[in-house]
Structures are given as structure tokens and as C-alpha cells.
Homo-oligomer: A and B are copies of this chain.
Amino acid sequence: MTHSPPVIDSGLLLSMLDTISQFGATGDGGLDRQAGSTDHGHARDWFRECLTQMGYETRVDAIGNVFGLLQWAGPDAPTVLTGSHLDSQPRGGRFDGTYGVLAGLCAIEAVRRHAQETGTAPKVNLGVVDWFNEEGARFQPSLLGSSVYTGEMELAYALSRRDGDGLSVEEELTRTGYLGHDKAPQADAYIEFHVEGNTELEESARHIGPFARYWGAYKFRVAMIGEKAHTGPTAMHLRKDAGLGAAYVMAGLRAISDARNGTLYTSVGRLVLEPNSPNMVPDRATMFIELRSPDPDALDAAENELMELLQQSSRRAAVSYEVLSVDKRHAGAFDARLVALTESEAAAAGLATLRLDTIGGHDAVPLSRKCPAIVVAVPSVGGILHHPAEFTHPHDLVNGANILARMLARLNACGGDLDAGLAASEVSRQNQEAG
């Protein structure tokens, strides 16, 4: 592939983004298109109709993931999936998730057109995917569709999740027509493009940000348990102040983070005192504690330190404690070859890159435990995400989709062999620089 690379139809990408943004539009530039809602269903209907008209085989699996497949390389060829999700937060933006789905479709289209124009043989099947309920705003947990896809979550469990009104995933998928029966295609690699939820690209004036690592998050719900008493007559040494116990934990937790120099994020975002009356010593303080780190060992060490801190703090405040729930999302790395391929293709296209970590969840995280996977970021103005003001400049949207197209073309050319694709990409880049 020494001739010119594939180039996406930027008009198609931007017009599709405009059109789909009407489904669930909140009138202020934002979206309310929560998973399983009527608007979400309409957006998917429209997207599926586009796929069909463009000649893709569409499939809907049992947890409502939508696939558009270009099975041009035959049943024995590997499959590379790209995509993201069409659901949004309750007051979300137009770009989060949706961009990755539409960029994926436009990139595959570019690869197909480029192959026809250059006579390149199809060696890898390509597919675009819209994962169900990435956001987890309406149905918890998040990453529902991709986690069922990879087998990390039981289908029955996922279908039985209910929203605040008591409606289940199964009921809402049925109602909107997305409780499918199709077999999901098996991915041999997965590439997701996404708008950045931070300002690192913007501040460093880079265009393309391959995520090298995903942070893990350990979440704990912990209750400090004391004894209710009047704040007037009760002698200090007799108080069992659950709020004080929580304060010791919150202060100590920050010290645990500070000792790790930016590689461990900690927080207590939610704290509920009971009875929470000005003149009562609280007998219960329930904290929602998070530990986040890109380093699995650091997370485990921090968990141990937290458990020790809970003991110390409860002893110091003369209260007891109970760990009510633990939710662990493990840290890990995306495929290093896909990071290198992103960098190589971006460099060849003259776009500056910056390796990033992703701290929030992406469908690529469960995928990465099944096959080589990556998330690649394009800049988002001000790092705004999950807000109607979310905005990515059209040239950044197009740049990202073009890099995705180049990566898919490279994987197709080498038959899905990442090492070979990477080597070829490197040669191409050097040729381009030399030229």
C-alpha cells in the first residue's frame, strides 16, 4: 500500500451526525437518548436503515447490540469491529458514543471504496457496532451490551436490570424492537474512536490520542456505625460519632492518594449521615468511596491501605463499620500494537499524537480482555463530556475517522496480522516522510 490512503466522505459523516442528533434532541444542542428509550430506538432504526441501504448485513443480538457487517472476505477471514454506542446520558452531548459509531461506518465505507479503486483484495471482514447501554445512566451497570458480548456478564442478569420506574432491559428492548436473536459476529480486533473527556489533546495541540491504558476503579460503599445521642448532654468520651469516623476516613483517604503522586485517584463523592440533625450525634455515616488507578498492583495495595484506614478510623471514633458493597473494575492496557498502529498512521497523515489513559469506562475495556482492542480519542473543546455543550470541531471529527480508515485498511491489507500491519505501516510512514 504505497499509493494514497483511504479518505472518508466527510460530508457523509457530518450530515449523518446532524441527522441522528435529532433523535432525543433537547433543544439546547444536547441529547436525552437513554438506553432503551423510544428516541434511542428511533435513532437505531434510522442507523439500521442506513446500514441496509449501504449494503451491510445487519444483526441484533440477544442484548440488543446492533452490528452492520461487511462480510467481503469470506467466512474464514478474521473480523475487525469498530464502533461505540448510540445511547446518551440524560442531559448528554451529540458526540459521545455516536461519533464512534458513525466514524466507524464512514471509515469502513472509505476502506471499501479505496479497495475498489486500488484493486485491493478484501482479506478481513469489517463490521460497525452500536453497543447497548454503554452509559449506564438508565440501567446499571454501564457497558451492559459489550460485557454480555464478551461473556463477562450473564445475559439473564443484564436483561433483568430495571430502571427507576421498574421497567426492565428486556421489556424496553422488546418494546423498541431490539431484543434480537441474531448471532453476534466474533471480533478478532476492536477499534473505537471517541471524543476526549479531558483537555490533554487540546492543551498539547495534538490531534489523535490513543489510549494506552485504562484505569481500574474499585468502588466501596461503607457504613460507619455509631450510636445516636444528643449533642448537648452527652460527654465527649461517651460519643460514638459515625460522622467523625467518616471524616477520619475521608481525610486519611486523601493522604493515601497524596502518597502515590498522581497515580491513585481517591474520592468520597457521596456521604449520608443519619439522622443528620444539627443536635444529634449521627449513628450512621454511609460513604461511597472510589479508588482509581492505571496500575493493578497500586489498586490492590490501595485497597489494603483503605481497609487498614477503616479499622484505624473506626477505632479512633469509637464506632464500628461495615463494607456494604465492593465493585471492582480492573486496570489494564489496551493492545500496544494498536497503540503503535494509531501513532504510525497518524504520523503518516501528519497528525500529532499523545498517548492517553482512559479513566472512565469504554466498551473497548471488556473487549480488550477478549481480543486486541483500543480506544482512540479526538479532541473535545474544553474536555466537556456528558453535557449539551459537548463539541468537537468538524476537522477533528474527520481527522479521527480518516485515521480509523487508514488503520482498517492496514489491517485488511495484512489479513488482520497486527505485527505485519504495524511493520507495513511503519514502512509507509517512513516512505511518506522521505517523500
Contact = CB atoms under 8 A, between A and B. Distances in A.
Interface of A: 197-198, 215, 217, 219, 230-237, 239, 241, 243-244, 246-251, 254, 257-258, 262, 265-273, 276-282, 288, 290, 292, 359-360, 383
Given A232-B359, A243-B271, 9 more contacts: A236-B262, A244-B250, A247-B268, A267-B279, A269-B273, A269-B280, A270-B277, A270-B278, A278-B290
Contacts of A219: 278
A282 B267 CA distance: 10
A269 B262 contact: no
A197 B233 contact: yes
A429 to B, nearest CB: 31
A195 B235 CA distance: 19
B277 A269 contact: yes
A270 B274 CA distance: 8
B243 A254 contact: no
Q: How many copies does the complex hold?
A: 2
Contact of A231 (B250, B258, B265): B265
A269 B281 contact: yes
A247 B241 CA distance: 13
A269 B243 contact: yes
Given A232-B217, A236-B258, A292-B231, A267 B281 contact: yes
B265 A276 contact: no
A271 B265 contact: no
Most buried by B among A257, A279, A280, A281: A279
A276 B197 CA distance: 21
A279 to B, nearest CB: 6
Given A269-B276, A292-B232, A359-B233, A254 B250 contact: no
Contact of A250 (B237, B243, B280, B359): B243
Most buried by B among A270, A281, A359: A270
A239 B246 CA distance: 19
B262 A241 contact: no
A231 B290 contact: yes
A279 B273 contact: no
A267 to B, nearest CB: 4
Most buried by B among A198, A254, A262: A254
A230 B273 CA distance: 22
A268 B243 contact: yes
Nearest to A219: B278
B251 A267 contact: no
A172 B277 CA distance: 26
A90 to B, nearest CB: 13
Nearest to A265: B236
Contacts of A277: 269-270
5 contacts: A231-B269, A233-B360, A247-B249, A251-B251, A270-B278
Contacts of A269: 231, 243, 273, 276-282
A212 to B, nearest CB: 15
B244 A251 contact: yes
Given A236-B262, A292-B232, A273 B270 contact: yes
Contacts of A234: 265
A376 to B, nearest CB: 16
Contacts of A258: 236
